Amino acid sequence: MEGSPSGGSRGKREGENEMNTALAPELTVADRCDRCGAQAYIRARLVSGGELLFCAHHGREHLPALQGQAVEIHDESARLTETPASAPIDER
C-alpha cells in the first residue's frame, strides 16, 4: 500500500537557463577605459554603487587605491597575456 501524499510535479524545470544570463557579465570591446578610452579589461564596482572601467594599464595603476572602495573587481586583464603565436621572435 502506498499512501504517498506527493506526486504532483515531476521535476520539469523550464526556463532555468534564462537565469544564467545575469551571471558574470563579460567585458566587451564596447567597454572603454575611463581614463584613456582603450578597451576595458578591468571593472570595479564601487561601494557607492558606481562602476569604473579600466584598461589593463590603468587598472594596474588604480586597483591598489580601489581595494578599500570596491565591493567587486572584475579582472579580465589575463586575456591580454594570451599573445598570438604569430608574434615574431626577436633574437639576437
Applying CB under 5 A, the residues found at the interface with Zn ion are 33, 35-36, 38, 55, 58
Measured over all CA atoms, what is the biggest interatomic distance in the chain, rounded to whole angstroms? 86
Nearer of residues 45 and 57 to Zn ion, judged by Cβ: 57
Nearer of residues 35 and 45 to Zn ion, judged by Cβ: 35
The edge-to-edge listing of strands for the beta sheet with 70-75 is 51-54, 42-46, 70-75
Nearer of residues 45 and 62 to Zn ion, judged by Cβ: 62
We find the least distance from the C-beta atom of residue 10 to Zn ion, in angstroms, to be 53
Among residues 75, 69, 68, which one has the least CA distance to residue 42?
75
We find the least distance from the C-beta atom of residue 46 to Zn ion, in angstroms, to be 17
Question: How many whole angstroms separate alpha carbon 9 and alpha carbon 64?
Answer: 51
We find the least distance from the C-beta atom of residue 61 to Zn ion, in angstroms, to be 8
